[in-house]
Every structure is written in structure tokens, then in C-alpha cells.
């Protein structure tokens, strides 16, 4: 086997291992609070959160789970919070694309951790941006009281969810809530601020204060059913609209309700019949390098993602460290902005490092982004970027101004943006290539992704210099090496795709072979909402 074939084989083995590790982690996450707690839920006559979603959604259509890794390796002292204690995603009900959010009562009785609130807000954001109906399957004990200070009062905390309920209703976005277990205190507002509320008899209950709190507050002794069970809330208070005998009937009724919802005018994104890539997508495993610092052909990656492997390049000979091209993905017209990871030579004969954004590349990308907005073409960003070029030549050439142009164009872009973090995503390169702060409709990472202000080695050496200079005593060479390793190990842990996904900096970690599906379903969702006029403001051309 020659050296190139050996390298391709190593790349395949590395990616397969990473995908396998990801899937094993997902299998554990999908067990929620564990088999005993799931079985206890079933013994109560209730379906589990994932069983409810599986029953509700169309089997022949994709389900894009959002935030499966939310909370991963967080809250260890509290016993963990798999998937943030809530299952959420994009799926189809009777052919209608919807957002679905289901509390997982096997995780701390469905209590809300700080990351739970963030994940619910992300689900609502997806619904609002794309004008998609949202279904809440409620089964929660409310705020996790030991952490109430981190979930209760702030702008992006628990209460923002009810504010969003009201705003979404005003926007005409359908919201349907099913009370399939506990629904307590402030959490009671979510289903009742939805357009319609269903409640399951015998297991569903909703009240501002449970029996214990009522006894403590006013001395009244009352059982849960009398206080806020299905009969009370549908026949006496009229708080809920439908009383359901069991989970399956409740979910079937939601299907019938969704089936009757009218449709918005679509945004008009262009789509033709899909065509598979000519180049085999499985070869992405061969092309993407085991070592993130190695150059590779970004064009070959793109040819395995786009229809018919056909790209129409914009300014092909200019600004070569960013690839800008028109293409189709699953039939949808897209504008692609991708970091070129090959070492290239500029028109002036200068060598340019792959993955670095130079002035000419930033200028090209900004203009391409404006063109896509003018033509109403969704944008797809594929990140493997180490940042902007530094040094006296770049500074004198105006790299800050050109970088600002690109960031301005990304910030003000009104066509939907989708971001795939394939490899490195460092510093201002993350921003210019539409990182989470720049409102991509969906942002996902391959298992190879690394997100940080700079690479681990550079950051560790910088931090080492700071720590060494702050110490009064002189460190030995061995001490410095040990300190460098400690810093780098910590930094490397914080740059992984899992660290990013646990904090919802990305919506999901995906197998690279799922990239086309995520982009296509994301554009389908975005096509439900109008595109606002594009204006870049003060733009230093």
C-alpha cells in the first residue's frame, strides 16, 4: 500500500471511530434517567418522552434531534442531566414539518436545569424563525430548585419561555400543548399560553401550587386530581380544552389538530428535483484528515455534498482561501461559503495557508454573501478556519477592514444561513464564517470539530507565559513542561465538539454523511418564513 492509500485508510478508520464513539454516547443519552426510571414511568401507564415523539411523528420522514448532547458531562454533582432532561427536534406530523419538545420525566422528574431552559428557548427560536408549528409534550416537576438562581430571573431563563409563548401566538405560529404528567407552578403557564391544551386523565395534572404547597400556604388539604387533574381542568375550570383517556389517544388527537392547520405563503427558495452527488459521499471519510492541521481538498468534500457534484464558482481565481460557489443540495439552490484547506498561491505569487482568511478572501466572501441575499439564495457555511491572517503585511493591507466587511455581510444577511463546523473554528474566523453568534438557522458539527478562540498549542503556550511571569519563583524546565501539559489538556477538552454541543453552541453533532439531510431539512423549514429586505448599513467597500 502506497503512502497516500495508507493515509486515506487512516482517515477512514479515524472518522469511523469518531462516529462510532458519538453513536455510543447517544445510545446512553437516549436512556434518559436510566432503565428503572423509564420502566417506572411505563408502569404508571405513561409513555416515555422518546416513545411519545416516536409515536407522534411520521415514520417515513427524517427527525432532526436538536441538543441531544445538551448538558453532556455537566451537573455531575447533581447526578447529571442527559439531553438537558428534554427531547426536542424537527420532525413531521401528517406531512407537516413541526418543532416538537418533550420533557423527559425520567431525568429528575423532568425538572428544569439552566441548560434545559436554554434548550427550550432554542426550540422556540427555531419555531419562530421558520414559522413552524410547535408541539409541547409536558411532563415536568418545574424548576430544579437547588439551581433556581441560574434558571429563574434573567432574560434567557425560564420566564422567557412564556414571553415567547405570547409572542409566537401574536405571530400566528400554532402552539399545541399536551399535559401528560406533572405541570407545576410557573411551568403551568407554558401549556395554557399555547393555543390549545390537552390533558391526559389520571396522569396529567396542572396547578400553580401542588397539594403540599397548598397545605403549607393556606392549610387546605386537597389531593392532586381534585386540585388540578383532567376533570377539574376541563369540566370545572375550563383551563384545558381536551380531556384524553391515555397517551396514545392524546397523541392521535394532536395529529388530527396539526392535520387541519392552514399554510403560510412560502419564501420562494428555488428547488428542482434532487440529484445525488456523482462523487460518492462516503469518500468524505477518506478525504478529511485524521490530523486537523493537515491540508486537504475542500473542493472534493463539496463535490460529495452537492447535487450532481456540480459547483459554479464565484471569483474562482481570487481570494483562494475561501471557496464561494453556487450549487444545489437535495434540489435546493444554495450559496456555499467554505474555507479552502489547500495551500494556494495568490495572483501575486504569494503562498497562502489553507484555512486562513486573507483580505482578498474576506472581500470575495462579503460580495458573494450580498449577491446571495439579492437573489434570495440560502447560504451554507462550511467551517475549517484557523482565523484571519496576522502580521505587519496583513495589517498594512487592511485585514481588519476587509474582515469587518465580511462580518458585516454575515451579520446583516437575511436569507437563511446554515453552518457546518467540519474542523477548526477559531477566533474571528468562527464569527466571519457564521458561528452561533450570527444566527444560523441550524448549526451542526462533525465529530472532528474544534471551537475556540485559538488552537490548543498556541493558547497553552500563551497561558503558560502569563502564568510563569506571574510566579515569584523560577520554574524548572520539567515544571514548565508539566504546567504546559496541564494547561493544554484542559484547553483541548474545552475545544471538542462535545463541549460545544453540551452548551448548545451547536445544535447537534452529526455523522458527515448526514450533512445533506440537515441542510435540506433546514431550508425546507426556512421556506415557511418570509425573507426580510437586505441592508448592510454603513459598509466600507
Q: Tell me how far apart the alpha carbons of residues 514 and 417 are, in angstroms, rounded to a whole number.
A: 17
Q: Tell me how far apart the alpha carbons of residues 483 and 494 are, in angstroms, rounded to a whole number.
A: 17
Burial 285-311, CB ≥16 within 10 A → b, else e: bbbbbbebeeebebbbbbbbbbbebeb
| Closest of 400, 379, 380 to residue 389, by C-alpha | 400
| Closest of 375, 518, 513, 499 to residue 440, by C-alpha | 518
Q: How confident is the model at residue 396 (pLDDT cuts 50, 70, 90)?
A: low
* pTM for this predicted structure: 0.94
* Residue 457: pLDDT over 80: no
* Residue 12: pLDDT over 60: yes
Mean pLDDT confidence for 281-310: 95
* Residue 78: pLDDT over 80: yes
- Maximal CA-CA distance, the chain: 84
pLDDT at 540: 54
pLDDT at 387: 86
| Closest of 415, 473, 412, 399 to residue 438, by C-alpha | 412
Amino acid at each position: 500500500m502506497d503512502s497516500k492509500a495508507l493515509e486515506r485508510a487512516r482517515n477512514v478508520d479515524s472518522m469511523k471511530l469518531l462516529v462510532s464513539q458519538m453513536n455510543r454516547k447517544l445510545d446512553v443519552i437516549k436512556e434518559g434517567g436510566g432503565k428503572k426510571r423509564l420502566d417506572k414511568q411505563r408502569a404508571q401507564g405513561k409513555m416515555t418522552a422518546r416513545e411519545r415523539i416516536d409515536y407522534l411523528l411520521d415514520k417515513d420522514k427524517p427527525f432532526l434531534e436538536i441538543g441531544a448532547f445538551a448538558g453532556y458531562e455537566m451537573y455531575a454533582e447533581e447526578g447529571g442531566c442527559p439531553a438537558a432532561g428534554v427531547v426536542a427536534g424537527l420532525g413531521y406530523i401528517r406531512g407537516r414539518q413541526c418543532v416538537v419538545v418533550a420533557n423527559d420525566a425520567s431525568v429528575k422528574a423532568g425538572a428544569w436545569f439552566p441548560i434545559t431552559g436554554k434548550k427550550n428557548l432554542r426550540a422556540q427560536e427555531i419555531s419562530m424563525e421558520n414559522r413552524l408549528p410547535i408541539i409541547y409534550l409536558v411532563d415536568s416537576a418545574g424548576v430544579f430548585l437547588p439551581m433556581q438562581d441560574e434558571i429563574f430571573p434573567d432574560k434567557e431563563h425560564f420566564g422567557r419561555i412564556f414571553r415567547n409563548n405570547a409572542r409566537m401566538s401574536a405571530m400566528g405560529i400554532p402552539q399545541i400543548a399536551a399535559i401528560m404528567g406533572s405541570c407545576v407552578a410557573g411551568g403551568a403557564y407554558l401549556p395554557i399560553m399555547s393555543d390549545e391544551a390537552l390533558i391526559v386523565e389520571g396522569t396529567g395534572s396542572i396547578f400553580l401550587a401542588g397539594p403540599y404547597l397548598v397545605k403549607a400556604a393556606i392549610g387546605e388539604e386537597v389531593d392532586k386530581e381534585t386540585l388540578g387533574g383532567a376533570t377539574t381542568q376541563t369540566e370545572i375550570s375550563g383551563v384545558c380544552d381536551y380531556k384524553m383517556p391515555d397517551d396514545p389517544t392524546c397523541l392521535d388527537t394532536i395529529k388530527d389538530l396539526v392535520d387541519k392547520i392552514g399554510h403560510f405563503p412560502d419564501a420562494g427558495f428555488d428547488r428542482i428535483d434532487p440529484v445525488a452527488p456523482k462523487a460518492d459521499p462516503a469518500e468524505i471519510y477518506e478525504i478529511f484528515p485524521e490530523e486537523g492541521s493537515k491540508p486537504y481538498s475542500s473542493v472534493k468534500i463539496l463535490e460529495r455534498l452537492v447535487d450532481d457534484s456540480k459547483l459554479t464558482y464565484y471569483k474562482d481565481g481570487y481570494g483562494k482561501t475561501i471557496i464561494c460557489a453556487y450549487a444545489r443540495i437535495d434540489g435546493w439552490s444554495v450559496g456555499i461559503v467554505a474555507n479552502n484547506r489547500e495551500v494556494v498561491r495568490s495572483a501575486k505569487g504569494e503562498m497562502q495557508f489553507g484555512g486562513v482568511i486573507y483580505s482578498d478572501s474576506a472581500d470575495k466572501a462579503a460580495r458573494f454573501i450580498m449577491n446571495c441575499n439579492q437573489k434570495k439564495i440560502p447560504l451554507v457555511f462550511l467551517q475549517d478556519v484557523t482565523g484571519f491572517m496576522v502580521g505587519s503585511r496583513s495589517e498594512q493591507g487592511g485585514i481588519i477592514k476587509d474582515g469587518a466587511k465580511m462580518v458585516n455581510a454575515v451579520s446583516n444577511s437575511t436569507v437563511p444561513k446554515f453552518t457546518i463546523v467540519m474542523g477548526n473554528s477559531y477566533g474571528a474566523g468562527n464569527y466571519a464564517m457564521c458561528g452561533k453568534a450570527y444566527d444560523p438557522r441550524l448549526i451542526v458539527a462533525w465529530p472532528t470539530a474544534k471551537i475556540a478562540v485559538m488552537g490548543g498549542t498556541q493558547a497553552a503556550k500563551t497561558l503558560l507565559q502569563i502564568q510563569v511571569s506571574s510566579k515569584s519563583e523560577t520554574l524548572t524546565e520539567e515544571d514548565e513542561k508539566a504546567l504546559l501539559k496541564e494547561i493544554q489538556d484542559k484547553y483541548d477538552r474545552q475545544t471538542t465538539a462535545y463541549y460545544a454541543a453540551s452548551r448548545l453552541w451547536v445544535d447537534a453533532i452529526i455523522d458527515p454523511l448526514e450533512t445533506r439531510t440537515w441542510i435540506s431539512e433546514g431550508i425546507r423549514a426556512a421556506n415557511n418564513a418570509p425573507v426580510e429586505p437586505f441592508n448592510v448599513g454603513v459598509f466600507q467597500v
